[in-house]
Amino acid sequence: MKINTFKYFAVDACKSLKRNKTLSIASIATVAATLFILGIFMLVIVNVNKGIDEIGSRLEVKVFLKDDITMSEKADLERAIKNTEGFEKAVFETKAQALEKVKKQLGPENQELLEGFEGDNPFPNSYIVTVKKPEYVANVVKNVKDLPGVEKVKDARDIVDKIISFTKTIKWFGFSIFGVLLFVSLFLIGNTIKLTVYSRKKEIGIMKYVGATDWFIRWPFIIEGVIMGIVGSFIASITLYYLYRVVYLRSVQATLMVGLVPPSYIINSIMSEFVLGGIIIGAFGSTVSIRKFLKV
């Protein structure tokens, strides 16, 4: 496409936007509303996944050792733990450290429950193993439970299974909502632009009569749709950014246990996706809307 031709199409598109101001505003508002709703859902998904990852990273596998474990068996155990897929770190906890931890958990008012434990500590030595993701917990259990010197292995398998199941549900729900929103946005934008095209029905018929090609007629409408899509995407991004920023700052002040992704995520990641989405929605909606008006 030549520069002069593109300039003509762009000017024609801008004139059409100005001439059909009400319909143009409606189209832009529809794009903005659709992308804004999609953006809210995207932020929810991202934050839920971030929270799940944070919770998952804190899940531990506790490997309790027998009192008579040998140095060789201990070395084999350490090697098995470190060679496990998804392994992040392992901390050795002595019997004394385990007793101190229980004392802190019980609090000063319940210390009498541990009377006599100082001389005969019943708590075993152990390795506290953390993994990169919840699904790797099973790997640790499988690799160490039958090794010599291991008394028993304690893990949060039920919690892990629930987290994994919840994650899958959220992702499938996300794909479903995305599909519905994409269909709705294309339907609404297509119908809104169709009204704009309809207002120029006679003009299109005259252009076809004098020999204008379909693409010559189509391009101004495509550019018009793209402009509306881009403007709508910026409005959605800016609105989403400032509203989410309020939520984020309040959550920081409330010192929530699970942190949210920062508002900059919207500018750095979501905005570019919105702009691309707006372009596709506007261009596709315009192309489909004008198709039947070219059959004259």
Residue 2 confidence (pLDDT) above 60: no
Q: Which pairs from 115-123 meet CB under 8 Å and 24+ separation? A: 121/95, 121/96, 123/95, 123/98, 123/99
**Where do the H-state alpha helices sit in 154-270?**
157-198, 201-209, 214-253, 264-265
Whether the Cβ atoms of residue 266 and residue 240 lie closer than 8 Å to each other: yes
Residue recorded with tokens 């005259």 = 206
Is pLDDT larger for residue 246 or for residue 51? Answer: 246
Residue 248 has pLDDT above 50, yes or no: yes
Packing angle, helices 3-19 and 21-57, rounded to 10? 100
- 86/127 Cα distance (integer angstroms): 16
Comparing 292 with 187, the larger pLDDT belongs to: 187
Write down all domains in the chain, each with its CATH number in brackets.
3-55+162-294 (no CATH), 60-155 (3.30.70.3040)
- Of 50 and 39, the structure prediction assigns the larger pLDDT to 39
* 65-75 residue pLDDT tens: 988 888 998 88
Q: How far is CA 70 from CA 66, 152, 183, in A?
A: 9, 16, 65
User: 130 - beta bridge partners?
Assistant: 60, 89
pTM metric for this prediction: 0.61
SS3 12: helix
Q: What is the mean pLDDT of the chain?
A: 77
pLDDT number for residue 16: 67
